[in-house]
Every structure is written in C-alpha cells, then in structure tokens.
Chains A and B, each alone.
Chain A
Amino acid sequence: MSKDLMDDMLKRPVRQSMDGLNEIQFGIVFLVWGIIATALKLWGSELPEWMSWSYLIVLPLAFYFRALSNRLRARWIAPRIGYVKTHSPILGKTVIALLTGGVIAVVIVIAYVKSPQLRLSIPLEMGVIFAVSNFIFWRWLRVRRFLIYAIITLASGLVAQWIIPDSFESEAFLCFVSVIYLVGGFLVVRNLMRLPIATEDSL
C-alpha cells in the first residue's frame, strides 16, 4: 500500500462523517442568525430591549442540532454506508484550538474597532474567511463539494458587498451562506438516502 493510499485510508473515517447533516446543521444556525439580525435591524427600535440578546439562542440551537444530526445519522445514514465514530476531541488539542480561536477573535475585534475601513467590507471579509475554511477542508479531505462551497461563499461575499444595500449586507451574506449549506447538505443526504439499506446478513 503506497503512502498516499494509506493517508487516504486514514482520512476516510472523517470523510464519512461529512455526510451532509453537518452542512444542514450549519445552514440552519446561520439562517436563524441571519433572520434574527435582519429582524433586529428592521424592527429593533420597536422590540423590547431583551430581544437584542436573542442572538444567544444560536448557541443552544447549535448543540441541539448537533445531537439531532447524530440521531438522524444513526437512523438514516449508518444503515446505508456504515457507522464510524471518529475520535472524541483530545482535551489538550481542544484547549489549544479554543485559545487560538479566542486570540484570533480578539485580534479581529480590535482590528475592527481601530479601523473604520475594515468595518466597511465585513461581508467580503466574511466571504474570504468562509472560502478559506472551505478550501482548507477540501485540501485536507479531498471532498469536492467543499471547493464548490469555497467558490460560492467567496462569490456571496462579493455579491453582498457590492450589490446588497449597505445596511443589510452582512445579514444577506449570512442568509446566502445558510442557503448554500442547506442546499448542499440536502443534496448529499438525498443521494445517500437513495442507497439501499445494507445489513450484515444481506451483504
């Protein structure tokens, strides 16, 4: 077995877990986020003050959809393509990832506070961040749809930046991205659902 083939085999458990449900999960979270942001912008002044905290609903929603997608995966996907549980995140690595993410977030916030110029192109910057993340996923796992996501998210950033009116460009970008992930995720799940259910007896 060549080194490349072995590397490919080692990536397959992670690749298998990219079964479309993750994208649907992200899509719903971004859609809710986009809707809340749009509603607050449109009717913010008429809504009670506590509504400005409604963004926080995204967090429990993300955890809920994670649990839900695991259940759906066991019920719909695993009987068709098999079950694999990838390693639970290692505590040390998780802490490092959280710290790195925290530092990056602080740097971004400071950059935005200090530079009004940066604040003018938020959708484009978000488009670049999403595109780079998707591109990295594509390079790592070689799942082609992530390259397509990278191109479309970048295009969405450009469209939101230059075509959508200034006051709604970030919200529009979030809604675009949510639609991209939802459509992509549904297509993948639909294709997987077309496969016959296989049991060890029937193989």
Chain B
Amino acid sequence: MKPLAKQAVELDRMIHEPARLAVMALLYKSEEADFLFLLRESGLTKGNLQSHLARLEDGGYIAVEKSFVGKIPHTVCRMTPSGRKAFKNYRKELKKIAGQLG
C-alpha cells in the first residue's frame, strides 16, 4: 500500500479544487444540467463558475454547450465519459485515504 501522503498528492488536482469538486459532484449524478442549476447549487459567483467550467472543459472532464432560447443565452453542461471515469477514480482514492485516516 502506498504511503498516505503519496496517495493524497496523487489525487486528481483538477477535481480536488473545492469549487470544481462541487461542480463535478453535481454533474456526476445527472445527465445534463444548466448554468443556473450549477450556480444555485454550488453557491459560486457567475464569473467564478464560468472560469471553473472553462477549466473543466479544457481538461476534457465536461462538455459545455452554449445555445440561445429565444434571445436568452442558455449553457448546458454534461460530464464526458473520461470525466466520469476520473471522478469515479477520485472518489475511490478519496475514500481509501479517508478510510486510512479513520
């Protein structure tokens, strides 16, 4: 078994950041969700959420689709298969570390 510190260091840093972790957790159990839902549930500010979504999209963890409903912009996000796999692994590793900590 790897030492605890090494396991902690090896956690996926893209997901480990609290705001992104919240977004990933919200998207994990859903097929897709819009910007308003993520904003309300994560408690982040608009700019903050936008920047974290952009980072997750750049990392290939989520797909962001921007469209218009009438004249109103509408952003829908969904987790990519690789993002889903990464989040699953992250949870597994985190549980392992939490288990060792007692």
Are B98 and A82 in touch, CB under 8 angstroms?
A: no
Which of A12, A16, A85, A198 is the one whose CB lies under 8 Å from B32?
A: A85
Partner of B98, one of A3, A11, A78, A203: A3
A68 → chain B closest CB, angstroms: 20
Number of contacting residues on A, CB 8 A?
Answer: 25
User: In chain A, residues 180-203, which have Cβ atoms closer than 8 Å to a Cβ of chain B?
Assistant: 198-201, 203
Chain B binding surface, main DSSP class: helix
Answer whether residue B33 sits at the interface, using C-beta atoms and an 8 A cutoff: yes
Nearest-Cβ distance from residue A20 to partner chain B, whole angstroms: 17
Q: Enumerate B31-50 residues with CB–CB distance to A below 8 Å.
A: 31-41, 46
Tell me whether A9 is interfacial, beta carbon within 8 Å. yes
Q: In the complex, A79→B75 CA distance in Å? A: 12
By a CB distance below 8 angstroms, the chain B residues around A200 are 35-36, 46, 72-75
Docked Cα-Cα span, A14 to B72, in Å, equals: 26
Q: CB of B21 within 8 A of chain A?
A: yes
Could you say which of A1, A79, A84, A201 contacts B22, with CB atoms under 8 Å apart? A1
Question: Which residues of chain A are near B30, meaning CB under 8 Å?
Answer: 13, 84-87
Contact (Cβ within 8 A) A84 B72: no
Closest to B34 in A: A83
A78 to B36 alpha-carbon distance, docked (Å): 9
B25 interface residue (CB < 8 Å to A): yes
Inter-subunit contact A199/B25 (CB<8 Å): no
Residues of B close to A12: CB separation below 8 A: 26, 29, 41
- Tell me if A59 counts as interface (CB < 8 A to partner B): no
Contact B18 A1 (CB under 8 A): yes
Which listed residue (A10, A79, A82, A88) contacts B31, Cβ 8 A?
Answer: A88
Q: Is the CB of B18 within 8 A of A82?
A: no
A82 in contact with B37 (CB, 8 Å): yes
Minimal beta-carbon separation of A197 from chain B (angstroms): 10
B76 interface hit (Cβ, 8 Å)? yes
Known: A1-B21, A3-B98, A200-B75. A82 touches B29 (CB 8 A): no
Question: What's the minimum C-beta distance from A54 to chain B, rounded to whole angstroms?
Answer: 37
Contacting residue for B37 out of A1, A6, A10, A83, CB 8 A: A83
Interface residues of B (CB under 8 A from A): 18, 21-22, 25-26, 28-41, 46, 72-76, 91, 94-95, 98
Given A9-B41, A82-B40, A84-B34, output 17 extra A-B contacts at Cβ < 8 Å: A1-B18, A1-B22, A3-B98, A10-B28, A11-B29, A12-B41, A13-B30, A78-B34, A81-B36, A82-B34, A83-B36, A83-B76, A85-B30, A199-B36, A200-B46, A200-B72, A203-B46
Residue positions of A touching B, CB distance < 8 A: 1, 3, 6, 9-14, 16, 78-79, 81-88, 198-201, 203
User: Can you show 23 pairs from A to B with CB atoms below 8 A apart?
Assistant: A1-B25, A3-B94, A6-B21, A6-B91, A9-B41, A10-B25, A12-B41, A13-B29, A14-B29, A78-B34, A82-B35, A82-B41, A83-B34, A84-B32, A84-B34, A85-B31, A86-B31, A88-B31, A199-B36, A199-B73, A200-B35, A201-B72, A203-B36
